[in-house]
Every structure is written in C-alpha cells, then in structure tokens.
Amino acid sequence: MIVDVRTYRVKPGKMPHELDLYDKHGLAPQVRHLGFPLAYLYSESGDINTLVHLWVFEDAADRARRRAAMMSDPEWQTYLRLADDAGFLVDQRNSLMVPASFAPIKR
C-alpha cells in the first residue's frame, strides 16, 4: 500500500473559493477514478492557507493506472482548466508514503 500525500498552498483569502471550486467540479470525477480520499484537510492554524489530501493506492502501478484514467476524463480536464483559470493555488508538494506496520491503515 502507498499513500499519496498531496500538499497545496493556497493564496491568502482564497481557501473557501478553492474548496468550493473543487467541491463543484473536481470531487466527482476524482472520486470516480481514485475512490474517496483517506483525508481532505485544510489548516485552521499553524501553516495557514494549506490544503492536504491523502489518497490510498495498492502500489505505484495502481496509482499510475487510476491517475491516467482520471487525467483522460473530460470532466476532470474541465476542472483542471477552471482551477488554472482561477489561479488559487501557489504551489504543490507530493510524497508517496507507506504506513508503518502498527498504523491503523490496513496494509
């Protein structure tokens, strides 16, 4: 199992707009291909303007296959265009992680 940890920094004051855009246009096609995220979180304190979501995959090949299918989905492509036009995101970091043997995530 791998967990794709995706961290985005959002422009100050734009978090509600980013979440609304994703909810209306990105969530459905992403869930259709990747399943529901393990977590989808935004910061309330500390490193504010941060959005983190975690996606679980069997392995790197599963991740590649499912993300390729998502990228070919016209509805996802529409969301990507809308997100690019909106310009709410500042940067992105991704890490592929594996759970420790004692983690409550089922391996």
* Domains of the chain (ranges, CATH numbers): 2-97 (3.30.70.100)
Here the tokens at position 19 are 């979440």
> Based on the number of CB atoms within 10 Å of its own CB, is 83 exposed (0-12), middle (13-18) or buried (19 or more)?
middle
Res 86: pLDDT: 98
Contact 10, 51 (CB under 8 A): yes
Among 82, 100, 90, smallest CA distance to 22 is for 82
Res 107: pLDDT: 57
Sheet holding 39-42, edge to edge: 39-42, 50-57, 2-10, 89-97
Rounded-to-integer distance, Cα 69 and Cα 66, Å: 5
Mean pLDDT by 10 residues, the chain (107 residues): 97 97 98 97 95 97 98 98 98 95 80
